[in-house]
Amino acid sequence: MLDIGQIHRAEYEIVTDRPEPFVIAEAPGRIHYLGEHGEPKAGLFLSSAIDRHIRVSVSMRKDNSLRFFAADLGERKRTTLVNLKYKREDRWSNYIKVAIQVFAELGYPVKGLNFTLVGDVPQQVGLAASSAIEVAAAVALKGFFQASISDKELLNRLLATGAAFFDKSVSPVDYLIAFHAKKDSFLLVDEARMVVRRIKSPLSKYKIVVMDSRVPRQMVVEDELKQRRQDIKKGLELLSQKKPGTSFRDYAAPDLVESMGDLSEEVRRRSMHVVQEIHRVYEAEDALKRQDFPLLSKVLLHSHESLRDLYEVSCPEIDWLVKRAQEIEGVIGSRMTGQGFGGCTYTILSGAAMGEYLRRLEDYERIFGFHPPTYEIRPATGARVIEVSRGA
């Protein structure tokens, strides 16, 4: 990753013999291993932060301008506190603006500030680069203003401000992961209750590889995902008419079998995926705690099959990649991750299996015509300040 401190000082002409207050913070990307296509606002996830980060630095300006520099992109944006609003063309800097708005509303002296952004979280592949920008900026500003605000309050304010700023509801899941993650720990994230449970990773001798299939997503993807969410909502409404319950966690697979006459086939399949995925998250937690790798392998296999056959968000290329990975000796499991209809897979494998895995990616490129980049990741720690200079 680029040296953000050196870049920031050069970009804003900060002289080293007269240092000014300066803070650098980082926030990790994240990956969902299970649960991402679950009940909206009540999801249950097996996730982790990843050891790829966004770093944000902040220092004071002498004027009232807010300046933003994305060093990796060579892009610069600017605004003022009076004009602090969402602009589509400002792209990545909109997430820093949310963090600024939080501290302005708290009464901190937000006037002229310089921001620099660097990172190695892969973009546009579902690893939460956007929320990492927002959290890194918020943690940097917390350190810069020496704000006495808890992580819980900061998280809640980011959610509320982000919802107003982008004019849409914001899930707390990525923020919970960013603030609660610990090195070498998986996280069981309960979206409804806003709580996180840590699970020590037993996979120190294994690698986790994220692979971007490079399958182009069609324009209809958002419409398809919206339809599935509507199917889930309808399924829960119909189930609750026959048996009291407020969430899919109140139901089991037999309840859906008994309701076959009341649910359309599509609604039944989507609902069955959600009910069974909740159970799989708990099974995976148990498998990780007991280091039961055969059980973990079975859970990941069944989860991908469910995403393919019941929720129907996979595609032939992703299915090929998962199947070929699962055939390799030394692979614990492989599964799609992200929105689906293309995107990424992750594979948990031994070091000895890596050569064969990469060879099969060469077969994939030859057969399908897409060159798939890979990213080796590890469960990582959460957001933190990594450098503070209080000036002369």
Q: How many CA atoms lie within 13 A of 282 on its CB side?
A: 6
Reference 325, options 365, 356, 368; nearest CA is: 356
Which helix (H) or strand (E) element contains residue 75?
strand 75-80
The vertex-358 CA angle with 352 and 306, nearest 5°, equals 95
Catalytic position from the list 63, 151, 167, 174: 174
Q: What is the CA radius of gyration of the chain?
A: 22
Calpha distance 4→56 (Å, rounded): 8
DSSP per-residue letters across 224-293: HHHHHHHHHHHHHHHHHHHS--SSGGG--HHHHHHTTTTS-HHHHHHHHHHHHHHHHHHHHHHHHHHT-H
Q: Round to whole Å and give the CA distance between 30 and 33.
A: 10
Catalytic annotation on 174?
Answer: yes
Close Cβ partners of 308 (under 8 Å, ≥ 6 residues apart): 314, 319
CA distance to 45, 53, 68, 138, 286, per residue, from 384 (Å): 23, 11, 20, 10, 30
Catalytic residues: 174
